[in-house]
Structure 1
Amino acid sequence: MYVVLGANGRAGGEVARALIESGEAVRVVLRRKEQSEEWTALGAEVAIASVEDAGAMADALTGARAAFLLNPPPVSGDPYQRTEEIGAAIADAARRAGLPKAVVLSSIGAQHASGTGVIATLNRFEALLDGVAPATAFLRSGYFVETWSEVAQPVLSQSILPSFIEPSQKIPMVSTIDVGRAAATVLREEWTGKRIVELGGPEDWSANDVASAFAEVLGRPVTAVLVAPEERAALLAEEGVPGEVADALLGMYEGIANGLFTRQDSSEHRRGTIALATAIERVVATPAGR
């Protein structure tokens, strides 16, 4: 039995689907019972637990061969304090359950304790979960291609791709489909101790490349336009992003601009197979993101 956290999110959902499609027994951990219908229809077992509840999480993890663990993306409050609380609860739960193997979602750039905004919370999350199981792997993902769904509307209506990343700067990006497949693969591998696995797409991409992929899918030109740093906070506020969360997100883009979103030579490096246009085609089909 493989246990997957965050199954209703982008990455966790792809991990659960990849395992189910491979014929594995899967238990997804959901916050609310009403979220379970899709997963029971796919044949998954469902456990209801909040990531902050160590007792309920321990029950959900009991009996697992391995588990996919993550720190949910921040939506409110102080992301750094939330990481402390969630990381401590998940670590406690895993130890109570005697979890033998864990794959923990992290991010490229998580080697830096500061200067990377919200990515720095994953530096701390890695520290809290280090040694949480006899075999623990930190899957450091590139920037999710599906994150561009958050600005798909101006692409569809105006053929403009707003970007907080300088349009020509290539960075590690990857489709969450590849994240799911990679996590499912690592979960079934055998090792002991700690691993850091860094995952990108078939190649590194820029916002200009993303705009070109939108253009290919839509059949018309699309232009990437850099949003000036001084304009970004107001845009996030208009979208309803709370101030502390917005600050952490803006810090991430500052870290990317400063060259901190990079792989480590000492890590395992892997690449997915999903082409940029393939991932963007899915974004266009479901612009709100999955």
Structure 2
Amino acid sequence: MTTAVTDTAVGPLLRSWRERRRITQLELAIRADSSARHISFIETGRARPSQEMVLRLADHLDVPVRERNALLLAAGYAPRYAETPLDDPAMGALREGMEQLLQGYEPYPALIVDGTYTVLAANRGIAMLLDGLPGHLLAPPLNAMRLTLHPEGLAPKIRNLREWRGHLLSQMERQIAIMRSDALRALYDEVAAYPLPEAGDDTATAPATGTATQDSLAQSPVPHFALPLRIEHDGHLLSFVSSISTFNTPMDVTVAELAIETLLPADPATVKYLRSTTP
């Protein structure tokens, strides 16, 4: 027997997540060991799901941890997942592990960001790329999207800026579609409005310092397996492939939204240059 419920919004929320994942009520019911009828009743508000059912459906719908708390609240239950600040003493082991991970990637650039691309930690490879940027961009809190796309940031040094900008904006659009984050939407609106240089791709401004030559800025081979970030640094053209890692089965909102991004060299010349700059 089902209990009629009229004051909960969990049903429409669950239906929205199911439609985003493009699965039918029957498919979700089979995965969650339920029935299509019961799923229909939950989505229309004719039945109130148990706390266990909300979490089970959220798991099969791959709902982000923060949004799982929202589903529980909408169903009348307390949030399940904490949101512990990264500087909390309880996060000490996590912080230490992340610092060791960043150092282990050197001399390759690597950084850790949260759900709105605030830079929480970075290694010397990232510091090298950011060297010479204006102080207002480097003042805390640093934001990876702003640093990359701002016309006074890395953007003038990126040789395939239009492609890379399109990739980053698409990435943010996918996140906005699944995260109800006003801060992320505001950041997207800001960086999407930054002006693009009139020159097309594969053109770079002359560096203010250094002895760049046409040969040293020659196009490097483009990897066939991923879109590279092609960026000029001190007269050398570096090529990177971005890799992003997240934590598996997180039980805390803060941890769930952490991302470790590494810039892996996409050609031998970049490897050689990075190793030559390492003390």
Interval of TM-score (by shorter of Structure 1 and Structure 2): under 0.3
If the length of structure 2 is used for normalisation, what is the TM-score? 0.23
Query: When you count strand as a share of all residues, which structure comes out higher?
Result: 1
TM-score (norm 1): 0.23
